[in-house]
């Protein structure tokens, strides 16, 4: 059966208490997360040259949208904001309201590409309402265009400008600010493909120091969002660890669909994976227990700790093999927290 490991909500060492079952999946014994940390984290020095090359690809994150500022004619300010995934590059320019179209966007991005010493292989964008314009603009620029909400450096830059730049500009309209970048993208969850479901999972945590020590080239599939500068090394980051006999296949699929957020729908007792621009997958359902109303019930505790970590959390996929190999790990961020 698909099992949900109930553990004490204590950071660090965990004690396994019981399992809550889900039908029609094989019965396996899972590890405590302390064992996951002992067996997996020290082994992250197995570097694949192929993965190293993949992770060295330059990825730009693009936003082309109006800002909470209007000019003297009441027209919205439009900006192109581009950052790279690692925070080493940024480009911001305004675009006149009457030039907001795919042709103009393409022209400006092409100029930027021609000037860049290090050109990107991939450009990501998260706004579904701008899909057609951006897709047309980038269609023949020899780039991989990837719709994705896994644009965490871009979210940080937009939030920074909404806090520090736009309020100081003439024509600032605070009511036009976005409180949640993806508020309009919520969908009815789809069923996970049966072949890609894990056998068990546990709620867990790692310190920011442990997460920062993981090299993205050490793992077949991975992705890391920037951690806030104010985090100390002991800041706990909540997450889930998925155990699967098809760990590599599951990790490859999660990476390919641009996994961007995990949250517990406490009302409907669902564990949801958010992917791409607007996709939600129902990963698992919580079973009813006598602890469900307790504030330390694991799904509630997970959401509570996400707020403490400014929305940052992680997902790891581990195999059932004796080597305890980790096949994928991602740090993610809930844009609404």
CATH assignment of the domain containing 92: 3.30.420.10
Q: What domain range is 100 assigned to?
A: 58-184
Residues 82 and 169 in one domain: yes
Which tens digit of pLDDT belongs to each residue from 315-336? 999 987 756 678 999 999 997 6
Domain-terminating residue out of 140, 159, 184: 184
Total domains present in the chain: 2
The C-alpha atoms of residue 8 and residue 20 are separated, in whole angstroms, by 14
Residues 31 and 16 in one domain: yes
Residues 219 and 311 in one domain: yes
Residues 253 and 326 in one domain: yes
Span 269-293, average pLDDT: 82
Residues 97 and 63 in one domain: yes
Residues 154 and 77 in one domain: yes
Residues 236 and 264 in one domain: yes
Q: Are strands 122-125 and 326-333 parallel, antiparallel or unpaired?
A: unpaired
More reliable by pLDDT, 146 or 192: 146
Q: Are 201 and 247 in contact (CB under 8 A)?
A: no
Which tens digit of pLDDT belongs to each residue from 92-124? 999 999 999 999 999 999 999 999 988 999 999
Minimum mean pLDDT among 65-74, 98-107, 166-175, 185-194: which range? Answer: 185-194
Asked if residue 84 has pLDDT above 50, the reply is yes
3-state SS assignment for residue 256: helix
Residues 322 and 223 in one domain: yes
Which tens digit of pLDDT belongs to each residue from 252-280? 999 999 999 999 999 889 999 999 998 99
Residues 35 and 157 in one domain: no
Residues 194 and 49 in one domain: yes
CA 272-197-155 angle, 5° bins: 40
Domain-terminating residue out of 115, 150, 184: 184
* pLDDT number for residue 288: 59
199 pLDDT band (50/70/90 cuts)? confident
Residues 84 and 127 in one domain: yes
159 pLDDT band (50/70/90 cuts)? very high
Asked if residue 142 has pLDDT above 80, the reply is yes
* pLDDT number for residue 219: 87
178 pLDDT band (50/70/90 cuts)? confident
3-state SS assignment for residue 123: strand
Domain-terminating residue out of 162, 184, 206: 184
* pLDDT number for residue 180: 58
Residues 200 and 119 in one domain: no
More reliable by pLDDT, 57 or 314: 314
Which single residue is written with the structure tokens 């998925």? 242
Q: Are 33 and 20 in contact (CB under 8 A)?
A: no
């Amino acid at each position: 059966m698909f099992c949900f490991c109930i553990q004490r909500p204590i950071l660090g060492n965990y004690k396994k208490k019981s399992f809550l079952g889900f039908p029609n999946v094989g019965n396996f014994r899972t590890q405590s997360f302390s064992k996951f940390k002992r067996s997996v984290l020290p082994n992250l020095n197995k570097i694949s040259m192929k993965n190293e090359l993949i992770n060295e690809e330059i990825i730009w994150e693009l936003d082309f949208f109006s800002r909470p500022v209007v000019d003297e004619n009441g027209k919205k300010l439009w900006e192109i904001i581009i950052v790279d995934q690692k925070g080493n590059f940024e480009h911001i320019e305004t675009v006149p309201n009457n030039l907001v179209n795919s042709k103009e966007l393409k022209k400006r991005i092409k100029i930027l590409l021609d000037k860049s010493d290090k050109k990107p292989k991939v450009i990501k964008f998260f706004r579904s309402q701008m899909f057609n314009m951006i897709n047309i603009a980038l269609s023949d620029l020899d780039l991989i265009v990837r719709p994705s909400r896994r644009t965490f450096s871009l979210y940080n830059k937009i939030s920074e400008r909404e806090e520090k730049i736009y309020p100081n500009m003439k024509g600032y309209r605070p009511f036009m600010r976005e409180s949640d970048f993806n508020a309009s993208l919520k969908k009815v969850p789809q069923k996970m493909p049966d072949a890609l479901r894990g056998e068990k999972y546990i709620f867990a945590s790692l310190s920011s120091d442990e997460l920062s020590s993981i090299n993205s080239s050490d793992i077949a599939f991975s992705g890391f969002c920037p951690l806030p500068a104010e985090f100390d090394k002991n800041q706990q980051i909540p997450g889930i660890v998925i155990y699967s006999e098809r760990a590599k296949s599951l990790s490859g699929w999660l990476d390919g669909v641009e996994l961007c957020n995990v949250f517990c729908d406490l009302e409907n007792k669902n564990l949801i994976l958010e992917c791409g621009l607007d996709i939600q997958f129902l990963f698992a359902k919580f079973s009813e227990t006598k602890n469900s109303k307790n504030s330390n019930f694991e799904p509630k505790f997970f959401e509570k700790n996400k707020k403490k970590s400014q929305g940052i959390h992680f997902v790891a996929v581990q195999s059932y093999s004796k080597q305890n190999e980790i096949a994928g790990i991602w740090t993610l961020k809930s844009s609404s927290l």
